[in-house]
């Protein structure tokens, strides 16, 4: 490492703060920038028609000569999902652990980026050098295998970034979180700790993933005579492992259903993260060769996503599986905030078909609760605390833990995306703000849907549209045809013929008036008359405000 310098380390979150999702943070020291994670966010309710959201990386593009690469903590969409989009704009190497890289590679393949992207698999305990940074990968536990915390060594000091983590003393696969290493680095003196705030409002400890296995065993023991269907997150390989274990113990064959589930399980198996006993997995078409009580289906759809396998089974539109009375369906998941109603809808549909639905105790979180956060703070003993990964309420709860443990309030930073925190052993302070934002992806379009389009979609969704068309004679503004009124999403026309006819009459009168008094009225004036007249009339009669769109042609 270089001698101590006078420069400061800059930490620049480009997303992931004040929201769950779109995690991406730049670390800058003089001529070197590294980027930790590159995630997507799922669209908010008011982002109508949007498929996904990726971060604005203008700051990275403006400093492209400094940027050394992407360091990825784990393979969840909110940490890797924007890579395929961002790499198209700046081709940089990716550093990640084995399973994480396997999942990334699946995505790069889909986007035709695999061959042109440099990738390096890093082991836990190993370090990589990127410019003036050294980054060490530290073993943690999370709801996906192979998650890492990062110790980021810079000439200005060490930053420990937990990634998404929990403390699992008895993980299903591999080692427990490397608490000793956190302590060792803490002993050296850590400048700042950036820790996962997702569960910072929750007291206590998150239970071990292994407890879910016990629940499965119990449910399997109690339901020996029915088919069992279990919905869970595709990426939770350890969860799938435990289902396979219970199935094997109770002599059932396992079918995996749902595209993302099949993909991740095949990647995890290839890379050795999943241990499937011989002849346990069968194809969905083989189901008919086994009695129901000898089978288990593992499926996507635990969030009530309408196109996922479980939802299709519940709605009776799945091609190969129908729900039968007596089926035992387990939700091995909690609804993510915002999905509660969708999940409930699927539970209702399943119940109605006679399935026995179990949605309690078959899930644990992948994120640290308050006592785990206290443990990490106490091992790392950072000078500064920077809560990350959460909405404001979660960041604030994490900040409260930091101060309760003795970190002075002025050393705790709840940052906003884009803020540049410059820090070293003497001081830390927000010195700048860089451009950040949410780029909306809709179909093939990246960034071509903005606020105006969203506002229009909202307006159309609320009250529909009334289109007024008319044809004028060039030069004379003589009305040759129209006004015709066409509506969509406003009222059921056949039931409202009277209203529409009356609207046309009122509009004709207003137009005639406008054109007679003002033979040279320009089109913007005519359109204004149309809008005002229609808005008034429709509001008075219906108390609704559809979009009014006048279109004028001339011949």
As annotated, the active-site residues are 196, 367
Q: How far is the CB of 42 from its own copies (least distance, A)?
A: 12
By CB under 8 A, tell whether 222 contacts its own copies: no
- Give, as ranges, the residues between 105 and 164 that touch its own copies (CB under 8 A): none
Segment interacting with its own copies, rule: CB under 8 A, options 136-144, 252-260, 308-316, 438-446: 438-446
Nearer to its own copies (CB atom), residue 284 or residue 480:
480
Number of residues located near its own copies, criterion CB under 8 A: 66
Q: How far is the CB of 341 from its own copies (least distance, A)?
A: 4
Segment interacting with its own copies, rule: CB under 8 A, options 123-131, 313-321, 335-343, 529-537: 335-343
Is 111 within any annotated ligand binding site?
no
Helix then strand count (H, E) for the chain reads 15, 25
Binding mask 10-29 for its own copies (x = CB under 8 A): --------x-----------
Segment interacting with its own copies, rule: CB under 8 A, options 122-130, 185-193, 282-290, 336-344: 336-344
Q: Which of 304, 299, 372, 373 lies closest to 334 in space, CA to CA? A: 304
Q: How far is the CB of 88 from its own copies (least distance, A)?
A: 16
What is the three-state SS of 140-174? Answer: CECCCCCCEEEEEEECCEEEEECCCCECCCCCCCC
Nearer to its own copies (CB atom), residue 305 or residue 391:
391
User: Is-contact 371 381, C-beta < 8 A?
Assistant: no
Token code pair at residue 20: 């769950």
Single residue of 121, 271, 467, 500 touching its own copies by CB under 8 A: 467
- How far is CA 528 from each of CA 179, 365, 468, 510, 514, rounded to the nearest angstrom? 69, 56, 12, 11, 10
By CB under 8 A, tell whether 443 contacts its own copies: yes
Q: Which of 8, 29, 31 lies closest to 427 in space, CA to CA? A: 8
By CB under 8 A, tell whether 204 contacts its own copies: no
Single residue of 31, 49, 404, 501 touching its own copies by CB under 8 A: 49
Q: Distance between CA 19 and CA 197 in Å, rounded?
A: 11
Q: How far is the CB of 501 from its own copies (least distance, A)?
A: 15
Q: How far is the CB of 25 from its own copies (least distance, A)?
A: 20
Positive or negative CA dihedral for 189, 394, 76, 365? Answer: positive
By CB under 8 A, tell whether 524 contacts its own copies: no
**190-196 and 148-154 strand pairing:** unpaired
Binding mask 352-381 for its own copies (x = CB under 8 A): x----x------------------------
By CB under 8 A, tell whether 277 contacts its own copies: no
Token code pair at residue 233: 């997150």
Segment interacting with its own copies, rule: CB under 8 A, options 74-82, 94-102, 361-369, 464-472: 464-472
Segment interacting with its own copies, rule: CB under 8 A, options 53-61, 173-181, 371-379, 475-483: 475-483
Segment interacting with its own copies, rule: CB under 8 A, options 108-116, 366-374, 460-468, 518-526: 460-468
Q: Distance between CA 320 and CA 124 in Å, rounded?
A: 42
By CB under 8 A, tell whether 554 contacts its own copies: yes
Q: How far is the CB of 211 from its own copies (least distance, A)?
A: 20
Q: Distance between CA 501 and CA 157 in Å, rounded?
A: 75
The CA R_g of the chain, rounded to the nearest whole Å, is: 29
Positive or negative CA dihedral for 400, 403, 409, 415? Answer: negative
Nearer to its own copies (CB atom), residue 374 or residue 457:
457
By CB under 8 A, tell whether 481 contacts its own copies: yes
**382-388 and 190-196 strand pairing:** parallel
- Give, as ranges, the residues between 378 and 417 that touch its own copies (CB under 8 A): 391-393, 396
By CB under 8 A, tell whether 527 contacts its own copies: no
Cα 136 to the center of its chain, rounded Å: 26
Q: Distance between CA 482 and CA 552 in Å, rounded?
A: 10
User: Is-contact 552 526, C-beta < 8 A?
Assistant: yes
Q: How far is the CB of 289 from its own copies (least distance, A)?
A: 32
Q: Distance between CA 175 and CA 172 in Å, rounded?
A: 9
Single residue of 187, 224, 429, 488 touching its own copies by CB under 8 A: 488
The secondary element (H helix, E strand) that includes residue 554 is: strand 547-554
Is 49 within any annotated ligand binding site?
yes
Provide the greatest CA pair distance for the chain.
Answer: 88
> 474 forms bridges with which residues in the sheet?
none
Is 432 within any annotated ligand binding site?
no
Nearer to its own copies (CB atom), residue 237 or residue 358:
358
312-315, Cβ contacts within 8 angstroms, sequence gap of 24 or more:
313/229, 314/346, 314/349, 314/350, 314/353, 315/349
By CB under 8 A, tell whether 292 contacts its own copies: no
Q: Distance between CA 390 and CA 384 in Å, rounded?
A: 18
Nearer to its own copies (CB atom), residue 235 or residue 487:
487
> 369 forms bridges with which residues in the sheet?
none
User: Is-contact 56 26, C-beta < 8 A?
Assistant: no
Is 394 within any annotated ligand binding site?
no
Residues in the chain: 555
Binding site for Ca(2+), by residue number, is 49, 51, 442
Binding site, by residue number, is 49, 51, 74, 76, 78-79, 142, 164, 234-236, 363-367, 389, 442
Residues that bind its own copies (CB under 8 A): 18, 45, 48-49, 337-338, 340-341, 344, 347-349, 351-352, 357, 391-393, 396, 442-445, 447-450, 452-454, 456-465, 467, 469-471, 480-482, 484, 486, 488-492, 495-496, 541-544, 547, 549, 551, 553-555
Binding site for substrate, by residue number, is 234-236, 363-367
């Amino acid at each position: 490492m270089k001698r101590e310098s006078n420069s400061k380390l800059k930490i620049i979150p480009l997303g992931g703060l004040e929201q769950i999702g779109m995690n991406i943070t730049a670390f800058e020291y003089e001529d070197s920038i590294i980027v930790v994670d590159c995630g997507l966010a799922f669209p908010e309710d008011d982002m109508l028609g949007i498929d996904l959201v990726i971060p604005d990386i203008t700051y990275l593009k403006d400093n492209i000569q400094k940027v050394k690469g992407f360091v990825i903590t784990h393979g969840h969409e909110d940490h890797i999902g924007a890579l395929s989009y961002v790499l198209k704009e700046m081709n940089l190497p990716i550093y990640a652990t084995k399973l994480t890289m396997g999942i990334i590679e699946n995505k790069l393949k889909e986007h035709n980026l695999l061959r042109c992207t440099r990738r390096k698999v890093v082991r836990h305990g190993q370090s990589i050098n990127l410019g003036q940074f050294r980054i060490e990968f530290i073993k943690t536990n999370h709801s996906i295998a192979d998650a890492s915390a990062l110790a980021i060594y810079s000439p200005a000091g060490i930053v420990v970034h937990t990634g998404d983590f929990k403390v699992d003393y008895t993980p299903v696969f591999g080692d427990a979180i490397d608490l000793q290493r956190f302590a060792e680095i803490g002993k050296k003196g850590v400048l700042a700790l950036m820790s996962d705030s997702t569960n910072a409002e929750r007291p206590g400890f998150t239970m071990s993933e292994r407890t879910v296995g016990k629940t499965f065993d119990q449910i399997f023991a109690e339901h020996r005579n029915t088919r069992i269907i279990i919905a869970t997150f595709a990426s939770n390989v350890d969860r799938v492992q435990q289902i396979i274990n219970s199935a094997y113990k109770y002599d059932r064959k396992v079918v995996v259903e749902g595209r993302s589930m099949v993909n991740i399980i095949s990647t995890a198996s290839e890379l050795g993260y999943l241990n499937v006993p011989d002849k346990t997995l069968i194809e969905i078409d083989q189901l008919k060769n086994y009695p129901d009580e000898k089978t288990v289906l593992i499926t996507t759809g635990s969030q009530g996503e309408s196109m996922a396998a479980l939802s299709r089974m519940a709605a009776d539109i799945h091609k190969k599986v129908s729900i039968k009375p007596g089926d035992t369906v387990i939700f091995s998941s909690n609804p993510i905030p915002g999905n509660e109603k969708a999940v409930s809808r699927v539970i209702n549909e399943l119940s109605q078909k006679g399935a026995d639905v179990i949605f309690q105790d078959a899930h644990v979180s992948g994120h640290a609760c308050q006592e785990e956060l206290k443990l990490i703070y106490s091992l790392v003993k950072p000078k500064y605390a920077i809560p990350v990964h959460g909405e404001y309420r979660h960041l604030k709860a994490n900040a409260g833990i930091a101060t309760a443990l003795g970190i002075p309030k002025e050393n705790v930073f709840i940052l906003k995306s884009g803020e540049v925190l410059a820090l070293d052993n003497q001081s830390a302070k927000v010195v700048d703000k860089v451009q950040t934002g949410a780029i909306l992806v809709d179909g093939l379009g990246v960034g071509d849907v903005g606020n105006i389009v969203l506002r229009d979609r909202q307006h159309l969704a609320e009250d529909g549209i009334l289109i007024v068309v008319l044809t004028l004679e060039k030069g004379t503004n003589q009305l040759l045809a129209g006004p015709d009124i066409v509506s969509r999403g406003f009222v059921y026309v056949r039931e409202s013929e009277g209203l529409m006819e009356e609207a046309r009459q009122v509009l004709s009168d207003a137009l005639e008036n406008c054109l007679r008094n003002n033979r040279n009225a320009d089109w913007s004036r005519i359109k204004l008359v149309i809008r005002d007249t229609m808005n008034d009339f429709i509001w008075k009669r219906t108390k609704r405000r559809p979009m009014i769109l006048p279109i004028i042609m001339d011949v």
